[in-house]
Structures are given as C-alpha cells and as structure tokens.
Structure 1
Amino acid sequence: MKRTRIVILILLCTILAIPGCSGKNSFDPRSPVIITLWHNYGGQMEKSMNDLVEEFNRTVGNEQGIIINITSVSSSSALYEKIVAAAEGNPGASPLPNITTGYPKSAYALIKNDKLVDLKEYFSESELDEYLPQFIAEGTISDKLAVLPTAKSTEVLFLNKTLFDSFSAATGISIDQLTTFEGISEAAIKYYEWTDSQTPDIPGDGKAFYTADSWFNTAQVGMNQLGDDFIVNETLNLSRNYKRIWDSYFEAAVKGGIVVYDGYSSDLAKTGDIVCSIGSTAGILFYGSTITYPDNTIENVEYEILPYPVFEGGNKAAIQRGGGMIVTKSTKEKEYASAVFLKWFTTPEQNMRFISETGYIPVTKRAFETVIDDYINKAENDNIKKLLKTALTMYNEYEFYIPPIFDDFDNIEKTYTDRLKSAAINARKEYLSLLTERNSDQAYEEVYNRAFEDFVGLYESHQ
C-alpha cells in the first residue's frame, strides 16, 4: 500500500507538472512560460514597474524559464471593470491575466466566479510571516489569501511649509497645532481671517487653509481613533462621537478655512490655494517645489510631510490603502510561475526600489526595520525622503484601519461625500448672507444646528 501511494504521488507530480513538487521547477528556459500581468500604475510608478519586470525577465525569469508580459490599464476603476467583465465571461471581454493589481473588491469579484487562486497554496507560513500581518489580513477573504501586498499606502498631512511659516510668524499658530484635527480646524479659520485682513478694501476674500482628498476616510479613521465604528451593519453610525468629526470639518468649511473641492488637493497646492491637505502617500509625486499663482508668478516652496492627524484624546490610527497582486486560476504551472515572480518582486530589495520612487510604503517587516533607512539616505527627491521618514514613524507608532468590504460600500461613500459637501456649500451661502445682520458667531450658530439636524435626518429617513 505504501509503495502504491508513492507511485501515485510521482504520477500526480508528473501529470500536473507542478513546479516545486520535488523542490525544483520544471520550466524550460528554451520554451519559457508566459505570464500576463495587468496593472494600473502611471507615470513614475509605471516606469518603476516596467524596469523591475524587465530585470526579472533578464535574470531570474531567464534562468527559470518565466517571462512576465505586462499590460497597463488607464485607471484603477477601468482595471476593476475589466477584471469583473473577464471573470463573468462577458461578451467581448479580454481573457483574465495570470496576475493583476487590484483591491479586495476585485478579489471578491473573482472569488464569486471561482477564478481566484488562494496564494497560501504557493507561499509557506514562514514566507508569509515576512509580510506585515495587517497587510496579509487585509488581503485575506473567506480564509483565502486573495491579495498579496506589494505596495501599500496610507494618508498623511502635506504641508506647504513656506506658506505656513509666514502665517505662523504673523499669528503664532505653531506646526504642533496641526497634529490634531481640532487644531487644524482652528488654524484654518484663523488663516482665512488673516488672509482676508490683508486686503481691508476687499472684504470676504480670505483664502482656504486646508482640505482632504477623502472626507469619508476622515470619518472612518476619526471614529476608529475615538474607539467607535463609522460603519455598523453596512450603515453609517452618526452617533455622539461622529459629531466631533462633523464639528472639525463643518465650522472651518462654513467660515472659509476649508475648501470644498471635487478634485485632488494637489491641484490646489500647485497654485497656492491651500496650505495643507490630507491625501494618500502615493500622491507625493504630484507635489513639487514650486507653486504658480494666477498671474503666472512662480514661488519656490518647501513641503513637510507630517503624520496623520489625531482627534484630541484619540488613538493614533490611519487608514491602510493601496492594493496588491491577485493571481487568477489557470494551470498549476502558470500559478506557480506567478508566485515565483511575486516572491521576487516583494523581497525587501526589489520592493524598496519600487516604492522608494513612488510614494508607496513597503510590505515586509525587514524592509521597515532595516532596509528603509538606507533608502531614506539615498533618496534624491526631498519630498520622498521626508515621506519615508514619516512612514517609518507611523509604522512604529500607529495602528492601521482597514475599511470593510461589502457590495454597497462605494455607493455609501459617494452618497456621504456628496451630502457632506452639499451641506457645507449651502450653509456657507446662508452664513455669508446672515453676516449682513449678525456677527460671525451668531450667523454660524444659526446655520450649524439646522444643517446638522438636516444631515442626520437624511439618514434617519432611509433607515
């Protein structure tokens, strides 16, 4: 019986041609296996990706008989749509790639169509232990390792130090005040008043100080910092703790210190229309060393990259963002070859080369604990250098919040953001009209109570 089992095992290894069954791969460099990879990186990120894939094909891939063939897709949303269409076998859809960049929701679509590889089949426990556990946890769906972390991001505070220093010297607002959301809100109101006072003959022309790329993320993380949940049973929790998130945004937005904007905050930073903003670390490449004013005057500026702000009395927490790599079902040979590439791509050396030029953060413990210091010292871009230092600080001091995954998540996010912005825009219009007959505090108090009640009422009426 024992001999029969051994024979069966040998036959299975031969028939399935599973590389690694005997500890060696079975690829033939003279007839390499082709692995297709879709990604949505652009600009410098695309260049870094292309360079690393070319190096793999020239070295490890050439030795082992693996070639990675990459296709760039214009955006993460376009890539998601392609993945879903391919997974569902829609008419005209492209065949699924062997590897794709993606988020947990992309993996979820593949799981529903039985098209996803559980990467636990190709990574040992000791290999997975090299990655940050929270990154592995985010990519695990239904006990399957669906998304391997390859490059992560979080959110930080981008500060135009040149503009801030002038404001600080005139008002006494210090950079330490920007460590809390309440401090940022107060600074934003004072900045609007300060810039407005510089043109006494033109009342009401103050400038905004701050914005965030995702107010939904601010609410999610803010509630987490306060020991609460923003999303409960796939609905929003607008409890007492949420009112603190609302207050930190609403007053400064109504009084002009926070700008309500539909684009990315980096666009406003380039023209000096804001002093600071919260955005993804992956957006660092959009912050340069100059700002261009409407009259085409160019000013050299310096940026600081500060850790994510915390609500007063709250825990240090920030959102965990960024996707990873997903392997789709094909042949055992191609699945194994895909894993070979991903292991190479996420070793600290390769991973740091990729993320150190893009604004992403590394995914392994060793990269954070030993390799990152060398790349900080070698970074030529000052903003990248500052970003990596801040990322290291947050790695040591912060907990990272992982948003939930469910079908209606994107719709809830969009609805919340639209309603929040609309409430602020309408309230500011009313506030400005009331200033003709009331002082600032009276005008704000009148619009505040009604706006919050109306905002909460929109959700209560649909529950």
Structure 2
Amino acid sequence: MKKLLSIIILVGLVASLVACGPKGPQLGKEEVAITFWHTQTGGNAKALTEMVNTFNATVGKEKKVTIKEEYQGNYTQLYQKILAAIQAGSPPDMAVAYESQIADYMKANAVIPLDTYVKALPKASLDDIFTGYIETNKFPQYKNQMLSFPFTKSLLVLYYNEDMLKEAGQRVPTADKPFTWDEFEKAVMACTKKDASGKVVQYGLTLGLDASTIDGWIYSRGGKLLTDDNTKVRFNEKPGVDAFALIDRLFKGSYAYQTKGYDYQADFGNKKVAMFFGSSTGRPFVKDALTDKDTKKERFKWGITVIPQSDPAKPVTVMYGANVTVFKTTPLKEAAGWEFIKWFTDTPQSVKWSITSSYMPIRKSASQNADLIKAWETDIQGKQAFDVIQYSRPEPNVRGWQDIRTILEDALQSVMSAKATPQAAMDAAADKANKALEEAK
C-alpha cells in the first residue's frame, strides 16, 4: 500500500500544481454527469438512490447535472479502489471518505480544496452547521484547507440498560449530567451478577476493538492524541494510560468481556450486559435486538448518552463518520459535485437522510424540523444522540493516522488479554505510531 501511495504521489505532483481553489464555471450551459462512489448498503443505499434521483429530477435538471452514484464496497475497499484509480489517472468525480484517507489522496494532489465554495455559502447557512463537523474537514497539513464536507456523521455514545442500572442502585446518566469515570466503574461492577457457582451471568460492560472509542476515552479524560504540530502522539500520557488501566481492572475482575463484530447488540438485547460504547448510528439495530418478536415491545428501558467524563461540566466525545470529497477532474465537474453537496447537506435533505439512515443531521436547525421531531417520537434515542453532538470533537486527520488506528487497537487487545500492562501497551503503541507519522510525511 505504501509503494502504491508513493507512485500516486509522483503522478499527482507531475499532473498538476496545487490549486488555489475552485473557480466554478456556470452550470446549466451544457450537460455534465459525475460519478459518486459510496459505501451505503441495504436501506441506506435505497434512500441514497432516491435522494440522488430527486436531485437529478430537480436541481440537477435545472442545472444540467446528473449524479451517478456507485457502490464500491466498505470503506477499506473504497479506499483501495480510489488509490488505484488515482494511480491510473481516472479517479471518481466525488466520493465519501474518512479524514485520514483524504489526507492520503491530497498527498497525491488528487482532491480539490472546497474553501471557495464554502465561503460563498450565506453566513447563516454556514453557522447552522455544527462547528465540529466543519473543523474535521480542515487539514492542518495542507494549510488548513477544507478538503471535504460533512456527509454521514455520527458520534461515540454510551448505550445503557436503564432497568439494570436502577436495579443495581445506580443513577441514569444524561447528556447534561454524564457519569464520571469513577461512577461508571462502580456502575459496571454493580451491574455484574454471578450465579451460585461463581459464573458471571450478567456483565456490566462489553467491549470490541475500535480506535475511535479509545480516542473518545482519552478526550473525555482531558487528554490529547497528538502534539500541537501533529508530529508526535501523546496518547501514552496519563489520560490514555488511565483509560487502559480501567479496562485492565474491569477485565481482570470479570466485570467486562470482549465481543467481536456486532455481537454486542444481541448480547445487550438479551440482557447479558448492561452497557457498551458504540456509534449513534447503531441504535436501530440495537432496538431490533431488544424488541420481542412476538409482542413487538422492547424488553427493557434503554438509552444513549455522552460517554463518562473526568470533568462532567465540560463533556467531550468523538465524532466520526465519513465526509464527501471532490476529486480533481474538470472545473465543470468539480462545480457540479459541489452543487450536489450543497443540496444534499441543506436542512430538508439533511433531515430526510438522518431519518432514513440514522446518521446525525449536520445542521442545528434540524432540531426544529417537524419531520425530525415526529421521527424522534419513536426514536427517542435519536434525540438523545442529537443532544450529544455539541460535545463531539473530531479525530486527527493527519497522514499516517489510518495505520495508527490499528496500532491503538492492537494495544487495547494486549491489555484486554492481559499480555501487557496499560503503560507498556501505550508506550509500545506510541513508538510505533511516531514511526508511522514520520514515514507518512
């Protein structure tokens, strides 16, 4: 992969000079069709197709723009296909991508800055977008240029079984009064039950391997992932080590256990576990897992909220989810790509996409939309997640972070399996991560 990236970089440097920003030709004079690569499947894919068709029949028809959306597999597969397409000189016109992937594309000078387009938005429209969603698309390594725009956003939250917490004598956390980490640890222990033989029959917490969750733990403890100049990692400082130390205690005490894939959803639904960390987009799957198939009623009260905090007065969690980026093709296609982005992320479309996909709306005004308010009547946890957006912070978008995610997950695995102490795991991960950052320069 690194060899492929090196080839792509050379191609990009030879192909063009760094652009000052898109100038945007006038649309509507000639027909233009653009390809849009994405990762959506199932109901989300159907909803996206319907929205693309709506655009093509309305704004697209007026401005002679046709969007051709194409599924390209999961995010890793999409990333690999785009790298190959850039090398071949035939990238898509537009695609969804994570920030660290976009940083790789830009190293090859393959995407366009969107600053000129974004600055042309009315101030009220720009201010309506959650600040974090804008900031995550600005890339410090590239003069803080905006290389993408928010598209499918979600955030790290804590899922909890309200009935189990109350039965164990624990309070129910809320967005304005989240658990402290000490309260969380006590709640996990209190919710754990054993039978007469000493076998655990109900756990307080289940965990999978996810770098974003680790990042969230560190943020919520007041820690930083990188130095201010983005050249070294800082996750092996006290906040990161304390986060791993908690996991170490919970696993050694049999209060927590590891699950693979999405098994935690079924375990939560079957009342095997009281809490887990997950994406806000997972709530329809969780709801399905805990709904009785015969009565169609939920088996227990549950909710989602911001993750535990060292300072509940200043809560922080991780935002994630892909953005959309526009590749360097022709000025006309680039302008057409932005026209679709602008339409898709306006409040009516943002609300519709949120309702159908369970992603978070990117605009504050969505909370006043009648359709979304109606949807929240049966998706209470959707409103709970929306209330957490204001506390979300983006993860690093520097080159090399894609590799660092795997390094962090390996470190967590070593702690959960008792193969390394929290400090040793974090220090070893930091050494590897710093090398990854150096190699990615």
Q: TM-score range by the shorter chain?
A: 0.7 to 0.9
CA contact (8 A) 2:133 2:394 kept: no
CA contact (8 A) 1:212 1:279 kept: no
In 2, the alpha carbon distance for the partners of 1:122 and 1:242 equals 38
Aligned-partner residue type, residue 68 of structure 1: I
Q: Which of 388, 397, 413 matches 1:421?
A: 413
CA 1:123–1:178: 2 relative to 1, 3 Å: closer
Is 1:344 the equivalent of 2:339? no
Task: Name the stretch that deviates more: 148-157 or 180-189.
Answer: 180-189
Match in the other structure for 1:451: 421
CA 1:105–1:379: 2 relative to 1, 3 Å: same
CA contact (8 A) 2:407 2:429 kept: no
Q: Offset of 1:452 from its aligned partner?
A: 4.0
CA contact (8 A) 1:154 1:318 kept: yes
Q: Offset of 1:213 from its aligned partner?
A: 4.5
In 1, the alpha carbon distance for the partners of 2:393 and 2:182 equals 20
The one-character-per-residue Cα deviations of 1:195-220 (angstroms, maximum 9, x if unpaired) are: 21xx31x3223332213445543442
Q: Offset of 1:186 from its aligned partner?
A: 1.7
User: Where do residues 390-401 of structure 1 align in structure 2 (5 Å cutoff)?
Assistant: 390-396=384-390, 398=391, 400-401=392-393
Secondary structure of the corresponding residue to residue 206 of structure 1: strand
Q: Which of 21, 26, 29 matches 2:28?
A: 26
How many pairs does the alignment contain? Answer: 397
Q: Offset of 1:18 from its aligned partner?
A: 5.7
CA contact (8 A) 2:202 2:271 kept: no
The one-character-per-residue Cα deviations of 1:105-155 (angstroms, maximum 9, x if unpaired) are: 232222222221222233434444443332222112223221111231111
Aligned-partner residue type, residue 159 of structure 1: Y
Q: Offset of 1:263 from its aligned partner?
A: 1.9
Q: Offset of 1:270 from its aligned partner?
A: 4.0
The one-character-per-residue Cα deviations of 1:320-372 (angstroms, maximum 9, x if unpaired) are: 1111111111111111111111111111001110012222112234335x33x
Secondary structure of the corresponding residue to residue 305 of structure 1: strand
Task: Return the TM-score normalized by structure 2.
Answer: 0.80
Is 1:375 the equivalent of 2:344? no
In 1, the alpha carbon distance for the partners of 2:62 and 2:430 equals 62
User: Where do residues 285-304 of structure 1 align in structure 2 (5 Å cutoff)?
Assistant: 285-291=284-290, 300-304=298-302
Q: Offset of 1:286 from its aligned partner?
A: 1.5
Q: Offset of 1:178 from its aligned partner?
A: 6.7
CA 1:229–1:222: 2 relative to 1, 3 Å: same
Q: Offset of 1:386 from its aligned partner?
A: 1.8
Q: Offset of 1:248 from its aligned partner?
A: 2.6
Q: Offset of 1:173 from its aligned partner?
A: 2.4
Q: Offset of 1:86 from its aligned partner?
A: 1.1
The one-character-per-residue Cα deviations of 1:43-95 (angstroms, maximum 9, x if unpaired) are: 222122111111111222122211111101221111111111111228xxxx3
CA 1:123–1:190: 2 relative to 1, 3 Å: closer
Secondary structure of the corresponding residue to residue 417 of structure 2: helix
Secondary structure of the corresponding residue to residue 179 of structure 1: coil
Q: Could you tell me which runs of 5 or more consecutive residues in structure 1 were left unpaired when the two chains were aligned.
A: 1-15, 428-449
Match in the other structure for 1:168: 166
Is 1:228 the equivalent of 2:223? yes
In 2, the alpha carbon distance for the partners of 1:324 and 1:455 equals 31
CA contact (8 A) 1:101 1:324 kept: yes
CA 1:52–1:299: 2 relative to 1, 3 Å: closer
CA contact (8 A) 2:376 2:383 kept: no
In 1, the alpha carbon distance for the partners of 2:105 and 2:202 equals 47
Match in the other structure for 1:408: 400
CA 1:424–1:110: 2 relative to 1, 3 Å: closer
CA contact (8 A) 1:210 1:259 kept: yes
Aligned-partner residue type, residue 321 of structure 1: Y
Task: Give the aligned CA root-mean-square deviation in angstroms.
Answer: 3.1
CA 1:179–1:453: 2 relative to 1, 3 Å: closer
Secondary structure of the corresponding residue to residue 198 of structure 2: coil
User: Where do residues 242-281 of structure 1 align in structure 2 (5 Å cutoff)?
Assistant: 242-264=240-262, 265-281=264-280
User: Highest relative contact order (Cα 8 Å, sep 6+), 1 or 2?
Assistant: 2
Match in the other structure for 2:187: 187
User: Where do residues 345-360 of structure 1 align in structure 2 (5 Å cutoff)?
Assistant: 345-360=344-359
Q: Could you tell me which runs of 5 or more consecutive residues in structure 2 were left unpaired when the two chains were aligned.
A: 1-21, 435-441
CA 1:114–1:458: 2 relative to 1, 3 Å: closer
Match in the other structure for 1:135: 133
Match in the other structure for 2:69: 70
Secondary structure of the corresponding residue to residue 303 of structure 2: strand
CA 1:121–1:225: 2 relative to 1, 3 Å: same
Match in the other structure for 1:432: none
In 1, the alpha carbon distance for the partners of 2:287 and 2:340 equals 33
CA 1:459–1:50: 2 relative to 1, 3 Å: closer
In 2, the alpha carbon distance for the partners of 1:460 and 1:377 equals 44
The one-character-per-residue Cα deviations of 1:257-309 (angstroms, maximum 9, x if unpaired) are: 2112232332433443322211111222221244499xx99984245332212
Task: Return the TM-score normalized by structure 1.
Answer: 0.76
The one-character-per-residue Cα deviations of 1:222-270 (angstroms, maximum 9, x if unpaired) are: 3333333134443343233334312332212211221122323324334
Secondary structure of the corresponding residue to residue 356 of structure 2: coil
Aligned-partner residue type, residue 331 of structure 2: K
CA 1:63–1:37: 2 relative to 1, 3 Å: same
Q: Offset of 1:185 from its aligned partner?
A: 2.1
Match in the other structure for 1:114: 109
Secondary structure of the corresponding residue to residue 383 of structure 2: helix
Match in the other structure for 1:4: none
Task: Name the stretch that deviates more: 410-419 or 214-223.
Answer: 214-223
CA 1:408–1:332: 2 relative to 1, 3 Å: closer
CA contact (8 A) 2:210 2:409 kept: yes
In 1, the alpha carbon distance for the partners of 2:232 and 2:241 equals 19
CA contact (8 A) 1:17 1:26 kept: no
Secondary structure of the corresponding residue to residue 159 of structure 1: strand
In 2, the alpha carbon distance for the partners of 1:85 and 1:189 equals 49
